[in-house]
Chains A and B, each alone.
Chain A
C-alpha cells in the first residue's frame, strides 16, 4: 500500500485554483520530490497532506487515513518541517527536543537526535541565535522526535548557503537510509536530482511531468545533443547534405539534435566530409534543468499569475 495516495486533488481559494486536480502516489521508503517554481501549489499540496488545510475536492490518503478528518492520528505518525521553519526564541536545541518529546509522550535521547541531524555543535545556544542552517536542522530534529515513518520537508534548504544546504541533504539521505518515506518540496533542481527517487514537476497547480529523473528526461527531453565548435560553412554543409536538426548560435557553437544512434554516425561522417574547421566535439544528454525550463518556462509564459 502506498504511504501517500493523492487522486484528483483540488484546492481553491475563492476563484484561484492553487491545486488543480493532481494525482500521485508515494511508496514506502521513497524520497518523492514536488518540484516547481514559487506559487506552483507545492506548499498547498503538502499542507493538505499534513492535515493543515482542508481540500476542496479529490481524494487524499496519508498512511491510509484522511489527514483532515483523522488529523490527530496522522500527526502522531508524521514529521513536518513547514516552509521557513521558525520556533520559540529561547529554548536551546536540547530543550526544544525535550519539549516535543513530552508533547508526544516519547522517550527521546536528545543528544543522540542532535547528532543525527549534525547539530551537536549548536547545543546550549538559544534558537534565536542559531544560524539559518542550524535552525533548519533543529526543525528536522523536532520532526523526528515522534520517530515518524513519513517526513514532510517543505523547501528545507530555501535561503541557506551552499554549505548548509549540503548538510541538510546529508540528513535527508540519512532519513532515506533509515527507511523513512520523505516528501520533499523544492524549487532547486539540483536538490531534486540529488535526493529524489521520484520527481513531480508542478506548475500552476498541475503536475506537468512525473517519474524518476531519467524517465522525465527521456519522456520530455529530445534525447542527446552533439555540440561542435564550427562556423557558418559547417552549418551550411550539414543542412544541405543531411536531414539532421541543426542549430547555430550565430557564433561558433553548432548543436546537432540526435534522435537515435544513426544520427550520431551520420553527423560525424558529415562533419568529416564538410572539410570545414571544427573542434571540441561533445555529446550531452539534456538535463532536468533543460526540461524544467522548457516545461515550466512555456507554461509560465502563457499562465496568469
Chain B
C-alpha cells in the first residue's frame, strides 16, 4: 500500500539533504543559468550595433527600392549593396558573412501585377544575426503584402536554409537548456545516489522499514519535478529579461515539467541499480547522457543537423522533451506538443516500471 506520509517523510529528508549539500542545488539551479548566460552572450554577438546585411537588388523598379529603404529604415540593419554582376553566394563568403537578401529581377512588375514573388534570404541558423535578418525581412514582407493592391500575400520569403522563421537563437536555447537541465540534474543525481546507497547498504537499511521502493522513487520524482519547475522559472526569466527571448508561458509547459523528471529520475535509478559499482554506474550514466545532451537539440536545432543524426535524435527521449518545450514555448504548436508528451509518457512509464522491477531493496 502506497503511503503518502512515508513518501513525504522521505521527501522531506531528501530535500533537506539536497539543499544542505549545495552541490545538487548548484547543478540544478545555478549551472543552467550560467549556461544560458554563456551561450546567450556568445551568440548574441555582444550587442555590437546593427547587423551588416548584403543586399543584391536585381530589380529595377520602385518596389525593389522601397524594400531596400525599408531594410535600411530599421536601426538593426546596416545595408550594403552588392553589384548585380556579382555572384551573391561567393560575394557573401568572400566578405565572411552569411546574412543577405536578394531581390529578384521583375520584383516590381510582379508586385504591381499581384503575382507571387519571393525575396531570398540567406542565413546561418546557428547565428543570431541571421535570425534577426530573417525576422526583419519577414516583417517587411508582411508590410508589403498588407499595402499591396489586394491585400493578398503575393510577396513571399524564400529561404536558402532551414532557419527561415523570425526566431532568435536564444529562443531555441531556452527550451533546449530547460530540457538539458531536466535531463542532467535528476539523471546524474539518481545514478550516483542509487549506486552509492547500494554500496553503503542504505537501501538494505531502508528495506527494514515500512518504506517501499515505489514510495522512495516517487519522492525523488516529486522533488525533481519541483526542482525542474524552479529551474524552468529561473531560466526562462533569464532568457526573457536578459536576452529578450520570445517565450509564451502556458499550462502546456507543466506537462513537460512533470513527465521529464518522471522519465529521467526513473532512468537514473535504472542505470544505478543495474550497475555493480558507483564507478561503472557513472560511466553508463555518461554514455547515455552525453550523446542525448548534444544530439537532442539542446544547443543547436535538430533540423540543422545532417539527416542521419536527425534519425538518431528521434530515438532519444530528450529530443521529445526539447521539441515539445519548443512547440509550446516558442511556436504555440499544441498538437505536435501533445504527440511529444505522449511519446515521453510511454517511455517514462516503461522506464519507471523497469526501475521498480529491477531495483531491489534486498539481496538473495
B194 → chain A, closest Cβ, in Å? Answer: 13
Neighbouring B residues of A1 by C-beta, 8 Å: none
Q: Tell me which of B6, B10, B17, B201 contacts A90 (CB under 8 A).
A: B17
The reply on B85 being an interface residue by CB < 8 A is no
Would you call A95 and B207 a contact (CB within 8 A)? no
Tell me the minimal C-beta distance from B316 to chain A in angstroms: 33
| List of B residues within 8 angstroms of A86 by Cβ | 200-202, 205
Binds B, one of A49-57, A115-123, A173-181, A191-199: A49-57
Question: With an 8 A cutoff between CB atoms, is B147 at the interface?
Answer: no
Cα distance A87–B208 in the bound complex, in angstroms: 13
**Contact (Cβ within 8 A) B13 A99:** yes
Q: Is A188 an interface residue (CB 8 A)?
A: no
Are A75 and B364 interface neighbours, CB within 8 A? Answer: no
Q: Which residues of B contact A75 (CB under 8 A)?
A: 207-210
A72 CB–B CB distance under 8 Å: yes
Select one of A54, A87, A90 contacting B205, CB under 8 A. A87
The answer to whether the Cβ of B21 comes within 8 Å of any Cβ in the partner chain is yes
**Alpha-carbon distance between A157 and B13 when the two chains are bound, in angstroms:** 27
Q: Does B153 contact A (CB under 8 A)?
A: no
Task: Tell whether, in the assembled complex, residue A82 and residue B205 are in contact, meaning their CB atoms are under 8 Å apart.
Answer: yes
What residues on A are CB-neighbors of B205 within 8 Å?
80, 82, 85-87
Candidates B5, B13, B210; contact of A91 at CB < 8 Å: B13
CB neighbours of A85 from chain B (8 A): 205
Interface flag for A301 (CB, 8 Å) = no
Contact with A95, one of B10, B13, B21, B364 (Cβ below 8 angstroms): B13
Distance from A137 Cβ to chain B, minimum over Cβ atoms (Å)? 15
| Per-position binary interface string of chain A over residues 102-128, scored 1 when its CB falls under 8 Å from any chain B CB and 0 otherwise | 111100000000000000000000100
1/0 per residue, CB under 8 A from B, across A214-255: the answer is 000000000000000000000000000000000000000000
Cβ of A89 under 8 Å from chain B: yes
CB distance from A200 to the nearest CB of B (A): 23
Q: Is the CB of A91 within 8 A of B362?
A: no
- In this complex, how many residues of chain B approach chain A with their Cβ under 8 Å: the count is 24
Check B363 against A102 for contact (C-beta < 8 Å): no
**A76 and B210 in contact (CB under 8 A), knowing A88-B202, A91-B13, A99-B9?**
yes
* Contact call B211/A87, Cβ cutoff below 8 A: no
CA distance A88 to B205 in the complex (A): 11
- In whole angstroms, what is the CA distance A75 to B204 when docked? 12
Say how far A204's CB is from chain B's closest CB, in angstroms.
22
- The distance in angstroms between the C-alpha atoms of A64 and B336, with both chains bound, is 59
Across the interface, name the chain B residue whose C-beta is closest to A84.
B201
A89 and B202 form a contact (CB under 8 A): no
Are A88 and B9 neighbours in the complex by a CB distance under 8 Å? no
CB pair A52–B363 under 8 Å, yes or no, is yes
Whether the pair A52, B5 counts as a contact (CB closer than 8 A) is: no
Q: Are A80 and B17 in contact (CB under 8 A)?
A: no
Would you call A100 an interface residue if the criterion is a C-beta within 8 Å of the partner chain's C-beta atoms? Answer: yes
Contact A99 B10 (CB under 8 A): yes
Q: Which residue of A has the minimal Cβ distance to B205?
A: A82
The answer, yes or no, to whether B95 is at the interface (CB within 8 Å) is: no
Residues of B within 8 A of A96 (CB): 13
Chain A residues with Cβ below 8 Å from B20 are 90, 126
Q: Which residues of A contact B12 (CB under 8 A)?
A: 99
Contact B364 A105 (CB under 8 A): no
Question: Given A91-B16, A99-B10, are A52 and B204 neighbors across the interface (CB < 8 Å)?
Answer: yes
Contact with A along B1-37 (1 / 0, CB 8 A): 0000110011011101100110000000000000000
Rounded to whole angstroms, the CA-CA distance of A95 and B17 in the bound complex is 11
Q: Which residues of A contact B207 (CB under 8 A)?
A: 52, 75
A102-B5 contact, Cβ under 8 Å, with A53-B362, A53-B363, A75-B210: yes
Contacts of A80 in B (CB 8 A): 205, 208
Chain B CB within 10 Å — which of A71, A91, A96, A103 has the most? A103
Complex contacts, A50 vs chain B, CB 8 Å? 208
Chain A residue numbers with a CB within 8 Å of B209 are 75, 100, 103-104
Query: With A88-B202, A95-B16, A99-B9 as given contacts, are A105 and B208 in contact (CB-CB < 8 Å)?
Result: no
CB-CB under 8 A from A98, the residues of chain B are 9
User: A72 to B205, alpha carbons, bound, how many Å?
Assistant: 13
Q: Which residue of A lies closest to B3 (CB)?
A: A105
A88–B17 CB distance below 8 A:
yes
The distance in angstroms between the C-alpha atoms of A126 and B9, with both chains bound, is: 17
How far, in whole Å, are A53 and B205 apart by their CA atoms in the complex? 13
Q: Report B-chain residues with C-beta under 8 Å of the C-beta of A90.
A: 16-17, 20-21
CB distance from B12 to the nearest CB of A (A): 7
Per the bound structure, the CA–CA distance linking A88 and B11 in Å amounts to: 13
Which B336-364 residues sit within 8 Å CB-CB of chain A?
362-364
Q: List 16 A-B contacts (CB under 8 A).
A: A50-B208, A52-B207, A53-B362, A75-B209, A76-B210, A80-B205, A80-B208, A82-B204, A88-B13, A90-B20, A90-B21, A91-B16, A95-B16, A98-B9, A104-B209, A105-B5
A75-B210, A82-B204 are known; give 4 further A-B pairs, CB within 8 A: A50-B208, A75-B208, A91-B13, A105-B5
Interface residues of A (CB under 8 A from B): 50-54, 71-72, 75-76, 78, 80, 82, 84-91, 95-96, 98-100, 102-105, 126
Q: Which 8 A-B pairs have the closest CB atoms?
A: A90-B17, A102-B9, A86-B200, A103-B209, A90-B20, A54-B364, A99-B13, A103-B211
B residues with CB within 8 A of A: 5-6, 9-10, 12-14, 16-17, 20-21, 200-202, 204-205, 207-211, 362-364
